[in-house]
Amino acid sequence: MDVNGRGIPTHCRCGERVRLLTSRTVKNPGRLFHSCPYGDENSWFHLFKWADRSALEEIEDMKVKFGDLEELQAT
Torsion angles phi and psi, residue 61, rounded to 5? -65, -35
pLDDT at residue number 1 = 65
DSSP lists the bridge partners of residue 50 as: 33
User: For residue range 1-35, what is the model confidence (pLDDT) as tens digits?
Assistant: 665 789 999 999 999 999 999 999 999 999 999 99
- 68 has a pLDDT exceeding 90: no
Q: Identify whether the C-beta of residue 59 lies closer than 8 Å to the C-beta of residue 25.
A: no
| Entry pTM | 0.80
